[in-house]
């Protein structure tokens, strides 16, 4: 039995009894493309066996580097964008107390993990520098090429601050580069300057890279047991190999969302009931959006954080355009639970909940919302996870990774490339005046 469970029982009014079975032949074909490397993008499937076939020596170096960072720094600044930061951010949030990064240094056992290079906002960088203050810090810069604009600018800024604070020699010992194994600007700089460096594998795209050094170093530096993270992913890898849709729930999820997509449910909301899962949804949105949104088709990934967003988006979900489907990731046993206190009188009308817990109320909210939205003709699926541990997160990561790979092949696209991402970069380079883009820059400036 899988460690997590997928529940499609609320799809009865949207999916006929025979439809899942009719998807079996298509799923068999998609699985063959994925496992045999005959599908598009086959060079980027190394994540598939990564939980077992990872570099054990580098893994040990990651753990050693994390301990060094913990002993020398109060802050680790992680510089990256897209898949180079979202996986680490979601894992640190998911696996720590909600306000982990807000605690003062003497109340944390491990460094603050803060992120830069994920925007071009000068105010954000200014405020981050102010937050770090005079405290000791290290930098983990993550880039395959070393020339991506957002992280490259941030790296220049924080590298200079390291040099100003520690001098060039010690600054170099506080920089950890996660980059290409053989080539690229960052790899060349790391080799020349002697930064400790880690590898972004060639066969693992950015959005699938959280279980490589890209995610593992900052996650480990925050005090998380990455051995357990990888064990959970490895067990999921072994659990989701059977193509039988009655047995493989990751493949079930892929099949059901494609059935619904073909019926006009073109937007999927990933929802949660725990605030520290907000960035899990952000990681999921990149995984799904970059994998499926191409060739003028694909399910649009969105998200909502309940019950908070029920007071802002709930009306639209209940009665708006009927192109929505929902997938809830629900934690059956939260990190903590709190009793609802008893009071004399009943001014707030909560006497009926006295003796209950907040998790009881949260669970009933989830169940009530599911029924209401289903009645409102919004298909609802749910993924139940038992807890918020590294093992469970590793399992959950792999569930969604293998599901979207199958889902992409079911929809006839390459789930491992992202050609559209380059369009904005080309325009930005031209408008910034980057050499080689002058002619395009003139044309674009006339349009502004």
Domains of the chain, residue spans: 5-39+230-411, 47-224
The beta strands (E) that lie in 144-217 are given as: 175-179, 196-199
Mean pLDDT of 180-192: 94
In the set 33, 150, 274, 290, the catalytic residue is 290
Which tokens is 250 given?
């990751």
Q: What is the DSSP string of 351-375?
A: GGGTT-BHHHHHHHHHHHHHHHHHH
Specify whether the CB–CB gap between 329 and 274 falls below 8 A: no
Which tokens is 77 given?
């600044």
Beta strand pairing call for 137-142 and 196-199: unpaired
Predicted local confidence at residue 257, as pLDDT? 97
> How far apart (Å, rounded) are the C-alpha atoms in residues 78 and 175?
10
CATH number attached to the domain at 5-39+230-411: 3.40.50.10490
Give the strands of the sheet with 137-142, arranged side by side: 112-116, 75-79, 137-142, 175-179, 196-199
Please report which residue ranges of 223-357 form alpha helices under DSSP H: 226-239, 249-262, 278-292, 314-319
Nearest one of 70, 85, 69, 61 to 199, comparing CA atoms: 61
Specify whether the CB–CB gap between 130 and 94 falls below 8 A: no
Predicted local confidence at residue 441, as pLDDT? 78
- Whether the CA torsion 30, 34, 39, 45 is positive or negative: it is positive
Predicted local confidence at residue 428, as pLDDT? 78
> How far apart (Å, rounded) are the C-alpha atoms in residues 143 and 151?
8
Residue 385 has pLDDT above 90, yes or no: yes
Specify whether the CB–CB gap between 408 and 292 falls below 8 A: yes
Query: Residue 116: pLDDT band by 50, 70, 90 thresholds?
Result: very high
> How far apart (Å, rounded) are the C-alpha atoms in residues 79 and 151?
6
Specify whether the CB–CB gap between 48 and 204 falls below 8 A: no
Element at 171 (helix H, strand E): helix 168-173
Looking at domain 47-224, what is its CATH homologous superfamily? Answer: Glucose-6-phosphate isomerase like protein; domain 1 (3.40.50.10490)
Predicted local confidence at residue 245, as pLDDT? 97
Do 5-39+230-411 and 47-224 agree at the fold level? yes
Q: What is the mean pLDDT of the chain?
A: 95
Residue 430 has pLDDT above 90, yes or no: no
Predicted local confidence at residue 212, as pLDDT? 97
Query: Integer distance in angstroms from the first to the last C-alpha of the chain?
Result: 57
Residue 16 has pLDDT above 90, yes or no: yes
pLDDT in tens, 295-343: 999 999 999 999 999 999 999 999 999 999 999 999 999 999 999 999 9
Beta strand pairing call for 5-7 and 380-385: antiparallel
- List phi, psi (to 5°) of 407: -60, -40
Predicted local confidence at residue 419, as pLDDT? 82
pLDDT in tens, 211-266: 999 999 999 999 999 999 999 999 999 999 999 999 999 999 999 999 999 999 99
Which tokens is 422 given?
């380059």
In the set 13, 247, 364, 425, the catalytic residue is 425
pLDDT in tens, 126-181: 999 999 999 999 999 999 888 889 999 999 999 999 999 999 999 999 999 999 99
Q: Is 425 a catalytic residue?
A: yes
Report the predicted TM-score, pTM, of the whole model to 2 decimal places: 0.95
């Amino acid at each position: 039995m899988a460690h997590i469970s997928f529940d499609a029982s609320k799809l009865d009014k949207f999916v006929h009894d025979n439809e899942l079975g009719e998807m079996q032949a298509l799923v068999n074909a998609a699985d063959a493309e994925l496992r045999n490397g005959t599908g598009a993008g086959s060079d980027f499937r190394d994540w598939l066996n990564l939980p077992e076939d990872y570099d054990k020596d580098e893994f040990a170096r990651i753990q050693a580097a994390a301990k060094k960072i913990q002993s020398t720094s109060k802050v680790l600044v992680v510089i990256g964008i897209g898949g180079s930061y979202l996986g680490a951010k979601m894992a640190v949030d998911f696996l720590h107390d909600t306000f982990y990064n807000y605690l003062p240094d003497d109340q944390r056992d491990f460094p603050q993990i803060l992120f830069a290079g994920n925007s071009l906002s000068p105010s954000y960088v200014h405020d981050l520098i102010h937050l770090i203050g005079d405290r000791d810090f290290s930098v983990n810069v993550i880039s395959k090429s070393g020339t991506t604009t957002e992280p490259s600018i941030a790296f220049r800024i924080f590298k200079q601050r390291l040099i100003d604070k520690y001098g060039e020699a010690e600054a170099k010992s506080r920089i950890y580069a996660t980059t290409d194994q053989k080539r690229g600007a960052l790899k060349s700089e790391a080799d020349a300057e002697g930064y400790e460096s880690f590898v972004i594998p060639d066969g693992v795209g950015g959005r699938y890279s959280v279980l490589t050094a890209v995610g593992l170093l900052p996650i480990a530096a925050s005090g998380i047991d990455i051995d357990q993270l990888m064990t959970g992913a490895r067990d999921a890898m072994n659990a989701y190999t059977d193509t039988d849709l009655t047995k493989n729930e990751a493949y079930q999820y892929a099949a059901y969302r494609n059935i619904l997509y073909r019926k006009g449910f073109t937007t999927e909301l990933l929802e949660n009931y725990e605030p520290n899962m907000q960035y899990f949804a952000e990681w999921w949105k990149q995984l799904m959006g970059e994998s499926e949104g191409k060739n003028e088709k694909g399910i649009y990934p969105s998200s909502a954080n309940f019950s908070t967003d029920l007071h802002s988006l709930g009306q639209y979900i209940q009665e708006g355009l009927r192109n929505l489907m929902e997938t809830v990731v629900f934690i059956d046993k939260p990190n903590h639970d709190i009793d609802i206190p008893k009071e004399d009188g009943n001014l707030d009308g909560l006497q009926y909940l006295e003796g209950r817990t907040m998790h009881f109320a949260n669970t009933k909210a989830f169940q009530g919302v599911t029924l209401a939205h289903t009645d409102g003709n919004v298909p609802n699926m749910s993924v139940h996870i038992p807890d918020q541990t590294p093992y469970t997160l590793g399992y959950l990561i792999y569930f969604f990774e293998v599901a979207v790979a199958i889902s992409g092949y079911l929809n006839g696209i390459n789930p491992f490339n992202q050609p559209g991402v380059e369009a904005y970069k080309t325009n930005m380079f031209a408008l910034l005046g980057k050499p080689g883009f002058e002619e395009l820059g003139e044309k674009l400036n006339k349009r502004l």
